[in-house]
Structure 1
Amino acid sequence: MKNINRWIIVGGTLMSMFALVTSCNDDFMDRYPTTSVTEEVFFNNITDLKTYTNSFYNTLSSPIADIGTDNLAHHNSGSAIDEMMRGGITPQNASVWGWSTLRNINFFLENYSRVKNASAEEVNHYVGIAKFFRARFYIDKVNMYNDVPWYGNTLGTADTEPLHKKQDSRDLVVDSIMADLEFAAAHIKPDGHKSTVTKWAALAQLSQFALQEGTYRKYHTYLGLAASSKTFLERAVSASEKIINEGGFQISKAGGVDRAYRDLFISQNLQSNPETIMFIDYDKDLSMRRNTHTVLDYEWALSQTLMESYLMKDGSRFTNQPNYKTKNVDEIFVNRDPRFAQTFMKPGFQSVDAKTPHRLKPTLGGYNQIKFYPEVSEMIAWEASYTDAFVFRYAEVLLIYAEAKAELGILNSQADLDKSINEIRARVAMPAMILSEAMGAVDPILQQYYPNVKGNVGLILEVRRERRVELACEGQRYRDIFRWEVGERLADQQQGMYVKALGAMDVTGDGNADIAILESAKDTGPIAGFTPEQLKNITLYYLKDANGNNNSIYLENGSNGHIMFTVARDNKKNFIKNKHYYYPIANSQMVLSGSNLVQTLGWEQ
C-alpha cells in the first residue's frame, strides 16, 4: 500500500517538472505549448508509463458532503451554485477554465508508443488508464459547460486554428468520452491494487457516466438529444451488470446492522473491503491526509428533506407517521432505517475522548452529520485524517443498475430488485423493496418533489429515494439534481430541526436541558425557572442581537417550528432554467484575438 502511494508521489513530482518544461504560454485556454525533448529521453520502458500515469491519480477527490444541494440545511461558506442563483457569478467575473491536466494526459498518449520491448497488452493497460483520466477530465467539463472544445492531442502556440476554434457539440464530446471509457474497460487489467484503476473501476466509471448522460438527455429535452438517451441507459445496464456478474464484489456487512454502514466511511483499509472497487489510499506515515472531522458542527448541517427521505425500520414511510413534521430531534430517530443514525448525529453521540455527549449548534440547523466523522482522536484535527475514501463502491453500481432499468421501463421483475437495491438494504436488515408495491403506491411527497418523472413514476421515485439515502454526503447529489432536471430544488429554503417552543431543550438525550433558544438576551422568560447553577450548563442562542437585528436563524412560525435561515429568506436564491445548469465562460477567454468561442447555453446575453 505504501509503495503504491510512493509511486504516485514520484509520478506527481515528475509531472510537475514536465509542467515547467511544457507550459510557457497560458493566455488562451492554457495554450498547449510546444514540447521539449523530454519525451525522447523518458518514454523508454513500461516502468516509465507506470510512473507517468501515476501522476494522474492526483486529480482524484474525496467528497465528504453534498455542498450546494438540498441535502444540507445550511452551509456557512455557501457554494458556487448558491452564488450563481443570487446573481453573483457572471461572465465578467467567472473563473477561467483550465486545461493543463488534459495537456499532460495527451502528452502521454502521443508518446507512449516510443516504449520498446513491451507487449501490446502491457502498453494498452497504461493507455487505458490515461484515457480513463481523460474521460474524467472531459466529464467535468461537459457537466460544467455543456459544449466544450475536444482536444485529442497536444497543441503548440502555432496551432492557432484549433486553439481558436468554436466549442464542439456535447454530442461529439460525449461520444469521445465514451470511446475513451470503452477502450479503458477493454484494455485495463482486472487485477491490481484497488487504489489503482482496474478494469472494474473503468466499468464503474462507464456505467456511472452512461447513467448520467442517459438521464440528462431524457429529462433535458431542450438539448434535442432525448432520442439517444436509451442507448446510454442500456450501456449503463450492461456495464453495471458485468460488474455484478463477473467482478466478485459484495456489499460489506462487517460490523453488523448498527455499524456496517458507518464503518465504510471511517475505514483505514478499504483495500480489504469486498465492496471497494476503487479508493484513495490515505496514509499516516506518508502524510497523505485529509479533513473529515469538519463534517460535525463545523460549517454545515443536514436538511429536513433528507431526514424525511429515510424510511421507518419496517419499510413504511416516515412521512406517513402522525405529526411527522413536528417531531423533535430525539423523536425522529425512533424505529428508522439504521443508516439514518449512521449518517445523522443521534442525541447522546459522544466523540472519541470527549467527556460528555456532543451538543448540536442550532445555528447550523441541528441535524448534524456523523458520516465520515473519525473515531481516532488524533484524526480530529486539521488535515489529520487518514481514513481511506471510496472512488467507486459496489453499492453505487447496484443503484446504477436499478435506476437505468427503471428509467428504461425494464425493471419489471422482483429478481432485478433483489440483486440490486435489496442487496443494499440487507446490509442494515431493512425490508426488501417489493416491485408491485413500489409500482403501485406513489409517494405524493416525492412526486411533488420530482414533478417531471417520466415512466413508471412510483418505481423511479423509490429508486431515487434509495439512492439519496445510500449515497448521502458522498458528493453525488448535485449531479443527480442536475441530471434529473430539477434544479429548482437547489433554490428551496431548507429547514433544520423542529423546535416546539422557545426556551430550553435536551439535545443530548440525558433528560437535562443543554441548549436554549430565546428571542433575545432580554427575553429570559422561557428559562426563568432554571437556577443560576443550572443555567451554567445551558448554551444560549438568540434569534435577535442586542440591537434587535436578526441573527442567522429564525423559527418557521416565530416562536416555534423548524429552524430556518435569515440569509435564505432575505437573499433568496432563484434557479433559472436552463441557464443555471451550466457555468459561463469567462469574458476574458471570449475576447482573445481570434477566438471563435460562443457563450455557454443560457448565458448568451
Structure 2
Amino acid sequence: MENIKRWINVGGALLIIIALLTGCNDDFMERYPTTSVTEEVFFSNISDLKTYTDGFYGSLSSPIADIGTDNLAHHNSGSTIDQMMRGGITAQNAAVWNWSSLRNINFFLKNYGKVKNAKVEEVNHYVGIAKFFRARFYIDKINLYHDVPWYGNTLGTADTEALHKKQDSRTLVVDSIMADLEFAVAHIKPDGHKSTVTKWAALAQLAQFALEEGTYRKYHTYLGLKDTYKGFLERAVSASEKIMTEGGFQISKTGGVDRAYRDLFISQNLQANPETILFIDYDKDLNRRRNTHTVLDYEWALSQTLMESYLMKDGSRFTNQADYKTKDVNEIFINRDPRLEQTFMKPGFKPVNAASPHRLKPTLGGYNQIKFYPEVTDMISWEASYTDAFVFRYAEVLLIFAEAKAELGILNNQSDLDKSINLLRARVAMPNMTINEVSGPVDPILKSYYNNVEGGNTGLILEIRRERRVELACEGHRYRDVFRWEVGERLADQQQGMYVKALGPMDVTGDGTVDIAILESAKNTEPISHLTEEQLKNITLYYLKDGNGNNTSIYLENGHQGHIMFTIARDKKKEFVKPKYYYYPIANSEMVLQGSNLVQTLGWE
C-alpha cells in the first residue's frame, strides 16, 4: 500500500475530491446531499464536468524569474540545479515524485462518459481540457526524468503489475502527450474567457512542446532520436502558424515604445490585452494575489551576459564596442534596445512607495530586475500583488514559429521574419531583423556561447535565440531553453554583476551624487576620505572583507576593479556533468519499494 500511495495517491474517497472542487457550490449541494455523493451521481451533466475540470487550473503557474540559469548573476537561496552541480543532490536525498494530480485527471477521464443528455462536442470540450492538463503533467515529468511510466487510466490497489512497472520509453510518453494535445486542439472551443483553456491555448501548448521536443532530439544526439526531430518542428510551425493566421491575436503596443513592453507584466486586466492567449486572473477584491515585488533587490539580480544580449538601438551589437566590458551601470543603458530598461533597473528608478530613487545592492550583483515589479503602492508587500500573469502570450508563439523554421532550415525569406521577430521589434521601435543581416558574419560571442549550432543558417538560429532570450527574459523559459539546446554547461559559468571602475564612492541613481561605496574593508577608508561629512552620512558602504579579514559574499574580478563576482561561485565551483545533470534522479526510496521495477534515471545509474 505504501508504494501505491506514494506513486499515484489512490487513497481517499471521491467525496474528498469533490468537496475540494466544489467548495461553496450551493447548487451542487442542493442536488446531491453530502451523504449520497458518489461518482455515479456526480458525473451526470455538463455542469459537473466543468466543476471537476475547474480544479485542474490550480496547477498553472507563471514564473517571474529565471532561477538557476545564466540570466541571473546571483540568487541568495540557490536552486535545485545549483545544488546538483555542486554535488548536493544524490539518489539518496532526492525528492520523491508526486503523481496525485495525474490520478485526479485520469479519474475524470474514466468517468466523464456517465454524463447524460449532453452534446458530444460539449463533453469533448471538457475531455480536451483534462487531456491538456495531463499533457502538461507529463511534459514536466519527462523534463525531469526523461523516461517515466505512462498511466492513461486510473489505477486501484489491485493493479499491482501496472503500479510496479518500469518506465516507458520517452518515445511512447511523448507520442501520448502529443495525442492528448492533438485531441485538445481538435475539441476545445476557440472562444471563452482567456483565463480558461481555449483551442488557442491548446495550440500554444502544442507548439511550445513540439519545439522543445524537436530541438531536444536534434541536439541531444546521444538519445539516438535525431532522425525524428523534424516532424516535431514541422508541427511547431503549423500550430504556431494557425494561431498567427486564425487566432486574431496581436502584439500589444499600448503605452508606446517606452511603456508597452513593461506594462504587459504589471497589468490588472490581461483579458483585454490582444497578446493574451492564456493567463492567471489575480484579483484584489477576491483576494487572489501573488508575490511580484520580490523581483527588486530581494533574492536575486540579473547577469552581465543577459545584459550584453540586448542590441543597440540602431540594431548593432552592444558587444561590438571596444569598451563594452567596462561600461558601468550608468553607461550600459545608453542607446540600447528599450526592453533593457524595462527589464533591468536603470539608475533613477523610483519605486511607487519610495521618496527617492532606489539604490542597488552590489551584494546581489547590481543589475536589479524591474520586470513584473508593480506600480501600485498596496502591492509592495508580501503576497499582495494582484497583477495578472501570462501562461501563454502571442510573442512566444511568434518566437516558436521563427525558431522552428530556422532549425528546419526553411526560414529563407524576409516575410517570415516580418510576421514574427520583427513584430516584437516593432513594439519597441527596434530595426527589423533582415535575412541579409543574419546571413552575414556570425556573432563570435553567440557562436562560442552556443557552440553546437552548425550549418549555413547558424547566424539566423543564433540571432533568433538572442531575440528569445531578450523578449522572454525572467519569464521562466531560460532553463528549458538551455537544456533543450544541450548547452547545460552555461549554467555552470561563473556569472558576473555590474562593472566597478574602482573601489570607492559610486553614483548608482544617476543624479550626480554618490550613493554607495565599495571598500576593501572597514579599515581601508582612503577611497572615501575626500567625501564631506554630509556625503558620508548619506552613503551606503559595502566591503569585500569583514572585520576579521574574511571574504564577504562578493569580490571584484580584478581585485580593486572589475565586474562584481561571487565568493561562493569561486570557492565552490559548479560543474555540469553531461548528460547526467539534464535529469533528476529517482529517489532510492522509490527504487527499493517492494515489487518496484524502476530503473535509475539516465546518467544516474
2:252 paired with 1:252: yes
2:565 paired with 1:557: no
SS of corresponding position for 1:331: coil
Is the 1:28–1:592 Cα contact (8 Å) retained in structure 2?
Answer: no
Give the letter aligned to residue 183 of structure 2. F
Q: 1:283 Cα deviation (Å)?
A: 0.7
Instruction: Please identify, of 450-459 and 547-556, the stretch whose mean Cα deviation from structure 2 is larger.
Output: 450-459
Instruction: Please identify, of 387-396 and 24-33, the stretch whose mean Cα deviation from structure 2 is larger.
Output: 24-33
Q: 1:573 Cα deviation (Å)?
A: 0.3
Give the letter aligned to residue 475 of structure 1. G
**Counterpart of 2:462?**
461
Give the letter aligned to residue 259 of structure 1. R
2:507 paired with 1:479: no
Map residues 375-524 of structure 1 onto 2, 5 A cutoff.
375-455=375-455, 456-524=457-525
Q: 1:25 Cα deviation (Å)?
A: 7.3
Q: Deviations over 1:527-574 (max 9, x none)?
A: 000122210110000000000000000000000000000000000000
**Counterpart of 1:584?**
585
Distance 1:290 1:34 in 2: 30
**Counterpart of 1:598?**
599
Q: Deviations over 1:480-517 (max 9, x none)?
A: 00000000000000000000000000000000000000
Distance 1:578 1:270 in 2: 39
Give the letter aligned to residue 546 of structure 2. D
Distance 2:228 2:454 in 1: 15
2:308 paired with 1:308: yes
Distance 1:38 1:335 in 2: 65
Is the 2:56–2:133 Cα contact (8 Å) retained in structure 1?
Answer: yes
Is the 2:6–2:98 Cα contact (8 Å) retained in structure 1?
Answer: no
**Counterpart of 1:55?**
55
Map residues 152-301 of structure 1 onto 2, 5 A cutoff.
152-301=152-301
Q: Deviations over 1:300-327 (max 9, x none)?
A: 0000000000000000000011200000
Distance 2:356 2:284 in 1: 28
Distance 1:385 1:79 in 2: 24
2:33 paired with 1:32: no
SS of corresponding position for 1:354: coil
Give the letter aligned to residue 546 of structure 1. G
Is the 1:195–1:280 Cα contact (8 Å) retained in structure 2?
Answer: yes
Is the 1:363–1:553 Cα contact (8 Å) retained in structure 2?
Answer: yes
**Counterpart of 1:571?**
572
Q: Deviations over 1:190-211 (max 9, x none)?
A: 0000000000000000000000
Give the letter aligned to residue 499 of structure 1. V
SS of corresponding position for 1:297: coil
Give the letter aligned to residue 476 of structure 2. G
**Counterpart of 1:374?**
374
SS of corresponding position for 1:242: helix
Distance 1:170 1:154 in 2: 21
Distance 1:86 1:442 in 2: 34
SS of corresponding position for 1:230: helix
Distance 1:521 1:38 in 2: 71
**Counterpart of 1:139?**
139
Distance 2:331 2:584 in 1: 41
Distance 1:579 1:146 in 2: 11
Q: 1:38 Cα deviation (Å)?
A: 2.5
**Counterpart of 1:120?**
120
Distance 2:588 2:354 in 1: 51
- The count of residues paired between Structure 1 and Structure 2 equals 582
Give the letter aligned to residue 147 of structure 1. D
Is the 1:438–1:459 Cα contact (8 Å) retained in structure 2?
Answer: yes
Is the 2:5–2:11 Cα contact (8 Å) retained in structure 1?
Answer: no
Q: Deviations over 1:202-239 (max 9, x none)?
A: 00000000000000000000001100000000000000
SS of corresponding position for 1:29: helix
Is the 2:3–2:594 Cα contact (8 Å) retained in structure 1?
Answer: no
SS of corresponding position for 2:165: coil
**Counterpart of 2:45?**
45
Distance 1:190 1:228 in 2: 30
Q: Deviations over 1:255-292 (max 9, x none)?
A: 00000000000000000000000000001111110000
Q: 1:437 Cα deviation (Å)?
A: 1.0
TM-score (norm 2): 0.95
Distance 2:201 2:600 in 1: 34
**Counterpart of 1:14?**
none
Is the 1:33–1:155 Cα contact (8 Å) retained in structure 2?
Answer: no
Q: CA RMSD in A?
A: 1.1
SS of corresponding position for 1:424: helix
SS of corresponding position for 2:265: coil
Is the 2:311–2:318 Cα contact (8 Å) retained in structure 1?
Answer: yes
Q: 1:26 Cα deviation (Å)?
A: 4.8
Map residues 284-363 of structure 1 onto 2, 5 A cutoff.
284-363=284-363
Is the 1:28–1:163 Cα contact (8 Å) retained in structure 2?
Answer: no
TM-score (norm 1): 0.95
Q: 1:24 Cα deviation (Å)?
A: 9.1
Is the 1:24–1:33 Cα contact (8 Å) retained in structure 2?
Answer: no
Is the 1:34–1:155 Cα contact (8 Å) retained in structure 2?
Answer: no
Q: 1:140 Cα deviation (Å)?
A: 0.1
Distance 1:454 1:232 in 2: 20
Distance 2:324 2:70 in 1: 19
Aligned-pair identity in percent equals 82
Q: 1:590 Cα deviation (Å)?
A: 0.2
Q: 1:440 Cα deviation (Å)?
A: 1.6
Give the letter aligned to residue 127 of structure 1. V
Distance 1:156 1:574 in 2: 43
**Counterpart of 1:8?**
none
Distance 2:3 2:334 in 1: 61
Is the 2:73–2:304 Cα contact (8 Å) retained in structure 1?
Answer: yes
Is the 1:487–1:575 Cα contact (8 Å) retained in structure 2?
Answer: yes
Unaligned runs of 5+ in 1: 1-22
Distance 1:565 1:353 in 2: 30
Give the letter aligned to residue 253 of structure 2. K
Give the letter aligned to residue 511 of structure 1. G
Is the 1:31–1:155 Cα contact (8 Å) retained in structure 2?
Answer: no
Give the letter aligned to residue 75 of structure 1. H
Unaligned runs of 5+ in 2: 15-36
Is the 2:4–2:157 Cα contact (8 Å) retained in structure 1?
Answer: no
Give the letter aligned to residue 29 of structure 1. W
Give the letter aligned to residue 526 of structure 1. P
Distance 1:69 1:353 in 2: 30
Distance 1:110 1:170 in 2: 24
Give the letter aligned to residue 506 of structure 2. M
**Counterpart of 1:19?**
none
2:57 paired with 1:79: no
SS of corresponding position for 1:584: coil
Q: 1:34 Cα deviation (Å)?
A: 8.5
Q: 1:436 Cα deviation (Å)?
A: 1.4
Give the letter aligned to residue 106 of structure 1. N
**Counterpart of 2:548?**
547
